[in-house]
A and B are shown apart, each in its own frame.
Chain A
Amino acid sequence: DIQLTQSPSFLSASVGDRVTITCRASQGISNYLAWYQQKPGKAPKLLIYSASTLQSGVPSRFSGSGSGTEFTLTITSLQPEDFATYYCQQLNTYPLTFGGGTRVDIK
């Protein structure tokens, strides 16, 4: 199975900060990577797919990049509603797998 390692697992940031989360795959997955945001008690929300394509309705402060084994999710100017847990998911190979998550908390 393809392992996805997210870093950091936790980060503390302030409103207005630029935040970068990394997702590393144990083997190449081309650009078949998605990013989700999840808030407590809620289902995951799709933010980005195909590594860099912004899902409709998602604010442009979210962006994704990468290919192969290394990917990043960047949030420019963090907003209060962005404090949540973020997951990456690879869709290249079955079983589909998720990263362990990155919790973004208020500093």
Chain B
Amino acid sequence: QVQLVQSGGEVKKPGASVKVSCKASGYAFSSYGISWVRQAPGQGLEWMGWIYAYNGNTNYARKFQGRVTMTTDTSTSTAYMELRSLRSDDTAVYYCAKKNRGVIPPENWGQGTLVTVSS
């Protein structure tokens, strides 16, 4: 079955960077993409972008452009999301999800990674 296992929680200081990993199994990783969505404490969901594993093409939300980099390692079926210049309002749970082809939304999600930004 499809599984996405994310790295553990992180505590970072303002201005630092964080890199969250998402290890996929149970499907042909290179044939799909990975989406990233975040959720601040007590708040709603926010789409950050996606990356296609097979060619590395990305589509970032304008809000994060210049601060986020999404990558994949097809040899280990792992996706990464790096967010730089962290601020306190970046404190959130970050989710990865298997991006389906076309406009079918993801049904497989990681368990989430809490990133806390605090001085």
Interface residues of A (CB under 8 A from B): 32, 34, 36, 38, 43-46, 49-50, 55, 87, 89, 91-92, 94-101
Contacts and interface: CB of A to CB of B under 8 A. Distances in A.
B61 A89 contact: no
Contacts of B105: 34, 36, 46, 49, 89, 91
Contacts of B63: 95
B59 A43 contact: no
B101 to A, nearest CB: 12
B10 interface: no
A46 B107 contact: yes
Say whether chain A's binding surface is mostly helix, strand, loop, or mixed.
loop
Interface in B42-76: 44-47, 49, 59, 61-63
Contacts of B44: 87, 98-101
B29 interface: no
Contact of A43 (B46, B47, B61, B109): B109
Contacts, number: 50
17 contacts: A43-B95, A43-B97, A43-B111, A44-B95, A44-B109, A46-B107, A49-B105, A50-B103, A87-B44, A87-B45, A89-B45, A92-B103, A94-B59, A95-B49, A98-B45, A98-B46, A100-B44
Nearest to A41: B112
A43 B111 CA distance: 6
A36 B35 CA distance: 15
Closest 5 pairs (CB-CB, A-B): A43-B109, A95-B61, A34-B105, A96-B47, A98-B45
Contacts of B59: 94
B93 to A, nearest CB: 9
B61 A49 contact: no
